Amino acid sequence: MNEQVQPTGSDPLFNPLSPDFIRDPYPHYDRLRAIDPIHVTPFGQFVTSRHADVSLVMRDKRFGKDFVERSKRRYSEKIMDEPVFRSMSHWMLQSDPPDHTRLRGLVVKAFTARRVEDMRPRIQEIVDQAIDAVIARGHMDLIEDFAFRLPVTIICDMLGIPEDHREVFYKSSRDGGRLLDPVPLSPEEIAKGNAGNMMAQMYFQQLFELRRKNPGDDLITQLVQAEEDGNKLTNEELTANIILLFGAGHETTVNLIGNGLLALHRNPDQLALLKARPELMTNAIEEFLRYDSSVQMTGRVALEDIDDLGGRQIPKGETVLCLLGSANRDPAVYPDHPDRLDVTRPNVRPLSFGGGIHFCLGAQLARIEAEIAIATLLRRLPDLRIDDVENPKWRPTFVLRGLTQLPASW
Ligand code: HEM
């Protein structure tokens, strides 16, 4: 045990929606790793914070998602009557094999490294347009005017959402993130989730009709054809996974760009280094992912009794939370000042994209989007300054870690 890291007073070790945790989760992770690396929450979940345990749980076949049973245990038998939970139960992200294998197999080709490389010119064009739109103004919100538009436009392109439907998505409220947090939803939050889900379902059903009549070279056409082709996927699975792709495709990448830019501006030596040596950008993106991951946690359920996870027994059916953001700063893996941003750090392999069969489908896409966005910003607006770098406004969600806004001037 680390003698210097103690719980303070009656503070719970893991209170992920408290303002202090949202502002800076990393001292809390240090305490968890040092004092109680397999911590049990008041809701009975096991929280893993060390790199070795997090990595093992995500890859080990004795763990899975078990979404329906897990949700019933957490809420009640009736929870699957809620449309938003029914929809989530069809997400590949929440499925176990063989459903997971089938659903992922239908879309995986669109995300191969080669396909994503081919998107570079389009990504560059969108980034340049975003800068062109504000350059004369001398100031912008790096989230709304810059980071947000790129991944939304790209995922709209990939899904085949027509240009004239997109404005509503650019203005959307980005408040679906609470669904992923490890603290149960209130009835009001479930009702809000249901309403959002209904709206999305209505919109996408219309688009499916359009693509049945006018097929395109896009993911929706591909999946609509798979649905018509017999038993490859149901209509509910089709809709749910399009909603998943749409959400997963932008919320996380906005935050990789936003958190990365904030980290750089809080570390002016690293900012100067990256401007002087743009060839470091690929490594810098891995370091941004490690240093302040836009996804802080994922989870699994024990599919059988586990005798020994970091010295604890995990009974079958119990949920294990994997703190990706904590694993990324574990001194056992990053002995050289894990709390320091170092764009030259060797061997950075963040767990931010998860691991095992659910390893992020969009990892390479997100990396390239962030690389082009940040490199172009440093090149075209070299004297950009963040207005209040010490008091950033964090969104109130834990799993999806990102900023509400990040005003900057030049
Ligand atoms: C910085 C950006 C991103 C981060 C940090 C991130 C993180 C993650 C993580 C941690 C998982 C795995 C969860 C688990 O193991 O339970 C995941 C899965 C997934 N991600 Fe991402 N993601 C990002 C961007 C994207 C993008 C751009 C897309 C799509 C366009 C995407 C689509 C998905 C999908 C579909 C899954 C589910 C895969 C499966 O269950 O097989 N993600 N992501």
For 251-305, write each residue's pLDDT tens digit.
899 999 999 999 999 999 999 999 999 999 999 999 999 999 999 999 999 999 9
Any domain includes 11: no
Cα(361) to ligand 1 centroid in Å equals 5
Cis check: omega of the bond before 98, within 30 degrees of 0: yes
Any domain includes 5: no
From CA 329, how far away is CA 164, in angstroms rounded? Answer: 43
Number of continuous H segments (helices) and E segments (strands) in the chain: 17, 12
- Cβ atoms of 341 and 293 within 8 Å: the answer is no
Given the CA of residue 298, which atom of ligand 1 is nearest to it? Answer: 16
Residue nearest (by alpha carbon) to ligand 1 atom 17? 360
Instruction: Kindly tell me if the per-residue pLDDT of 26 is higher than 50.
Output: yes
Q: How far is CA 88 from the centre of its chain?
A: 16
Residues framing ligand 1 (Cβ under 6 A): 58, 92-93, 104, 155, 244-245, 248-249, 252-253, 256, 293-295, 298, 352-354, 358, 360-362, 365-366
From CA 89, how far away is CA 104, in angstroms rounded? Answer: 14
From CA 203, how far away is CA 179, in angstroms rounded? Answer: 20
Average pLDDT over residues 194-208: 92
How many other C-beta atoms lie within 10 A of the C-beta of residue 351?
A: 25
Cα(353) to ligand 1 centroid in Å equals 6
Supply the range of the domain harboring residue 131.
Answer: 21-176+184-409
Given the CA of residue 294, which atom of ligand 1 is nearest to it? Answer: 5
Average pLDDT over residues 59-63: 98
Helix, strand and coil in the chain, % to nearest 5: 55, 10, 35
Any domain includes 8: no
Query: In the chain, what is the greatest distance between 2 CA atoms, to the nearest angstrom?
Result: 67
Any domain includes 16: no
Instruction: Kindly tell me if the per-residue pLDDT of 132 is higher than 90.
Output: yes
Average pLDDT over residues 338-345: 98
Instruction: Kindly tell me if the per-residue pLDDT of 329 is higher than 80.
Output: yes
Instruction: Kindly tell me if the per-residue pLDDT of 320 is higher than 80.
Output: yes
Residue nearest (by alpha carbon) to ligand 1 atom 7? 353
Q: What is the pLDDT of residue 2?
A: 38
For the purposes of burial, counting CB atoms within 10 Å of the CB of 276, is it exposed (0-12), middle (13-18) or buried (19 or more)? exposed
With cut-offs at 50, 70 and 90, classify the pLDDT of residue 84. very high
Instruction: Kindly tell me if the per-residue pLDDT of 315 is higher than 70.
Output: yes
The lowest-confidence range among 100-104, 120-124, 176-180, 186-190 is: 176-180
From CA 127, how far away is CA 376, in angstroms rounded? Answer: 7
Looking at per-residue pLDDT, the higher value among 49 and 200 belongs to 49
Average pLDDT over residues 372-399: 96
Any domain includes 15: no
The lowest-confidence range among 150-154, 246-250, 332-336 is: 246-250
Q: What is the pLDDT of residue 9?
A: 46
CATH for 112: 1.10.630.10
Q: What is the pLDDT of residue 168?
A: 75
With cut-offs at 50, 70 and 90, classify the pLDDT of residue 3. very low
Q: Which of 158, 254, 353 to mutate to test the pocket of ligand 1 (most atoms within 8 A of CB)?
A: 353
Any domain includes 232: yes
Cα(248) to ligand 1 centroid in Å equals 6
Q: What is the pLDDT of residue 173?
A: 56
With cut-offs at 50, 70 and 90, classify the pLDDT of residue 250. confident
Q: How far is CA 322 from the centre of its chain?
A: 13
Q: Which two tokens stand for residue 206?
A: 């219309």
Residue nearest (by alpha carbon) to ligand 1 atom 37? 93
Instruction: Kindly tell me if the per-residue pLDDT of 107 is higher than 80.
Output: yes
From CA 72, how far away is CA 47, in angstroms rounded? Answer: 20
With cut-offs at 50, 70 and 90, classify the pLDDT of residue 248. confident
Residue nearest (by alpha carbon) to ligand 1 atom 13? 354
Number of separate domains in the chain: 1
Per DSSP, the three-state class of 150 is helix
From CA 400, how far away is CA 266, in angstroms rounded? Answer: 21
Any domain includes 172: yes
- Cβ atoms of 328 and 264 within 8 Å: the answer is no
Instruction: Kindly tell me if the per-residue pLDDT of 223 is higher than 70.
Output: yes
Work out whether strand 312-314 and strand 306-309 pair parallel, antiparallel, or are unpaired. Answer: antiparallel
Alpha carbon distances (Å) from 118 to 83, 111, 112, 113, 364: 37, 11, 10, 9, 12
Instruction: Kindly tell me if the per-residue pLDDT of 181 is higher than 90.
Output: no
The lowest-confidence range among 185-189, 229-233, 241-245, 395-399 is: 229-233
End-to-end alpha carbon distance in the chain: 47
Work out whether strand 319-323 and strand 46-48 pair parallel, antiparallel, or are unpaired. Answer: parallel
Looking at per-residue pLDDT, the higher value among 74 and 361 belongs to 361
Residue-wise pLDDT tens digits, 348-379: 999 999 999 999 999 999 999 999 999 999 99
Q: Which two tokens stand for residue 292?
A: 């302040």
With cut-offs at 50, 70 and 90, classify the pLDDT of residue 232. confident
- Cβ atoms of 69 and 89 within 8 Å: the answer is no
- Cβ atoms of 94 and 86 within 8 Å: the answer is no
Average pLDDT over residues 211-226: 92
Cβ neighbors of 13 (< 8 A, separation 6 or more) are 7, 28, 31, 32, 35, 36, 39
Given the CA of residue 154, which atom of ligand 1 is nearest to it? Answer: 30
Strand order in the sheet with 319-323: 38-40, 46-48, 319-323, 297-302, 63-64
Average pLDDT over residues 42-64: 96
Instruction: Kindly tell me if the per-residue pLDDT of 5 is higher than 50.
Output: no
Q: What is the pLDDT of residue 175?
A: 64
Looking at per-residue pLDDT, the higher value among 74 and 288 belongs to 288
H or E element, residue 108: none
Nearest-10 crossing angle of helices 235-266, 149-159:
160
Looking at residue 400, the DSSP 8-state letter turns out to be: B
Q: What is the mean pLDDT of the chain?
A: 93
Given the CA of residue 359, which atom of ligand 1 is nearest to it? Answer: 12
Residue nearest (by alpha carbon) to ligand 1 atom 43? 360
Any domain includes 3: no
Q: What is the pLDDT of residue 228?
A: 83
Cα(57) to ligand 1 centroid in Å equals 17
Q: What is the pLDDT of residue 6?
A: 44
With cut-offs at 50, 70 and 90, classify the pLDDT of residue 176. low
Instruction: Kindly tell me if the per-residue pLDDT of 1 is higher than 70.
Output: no
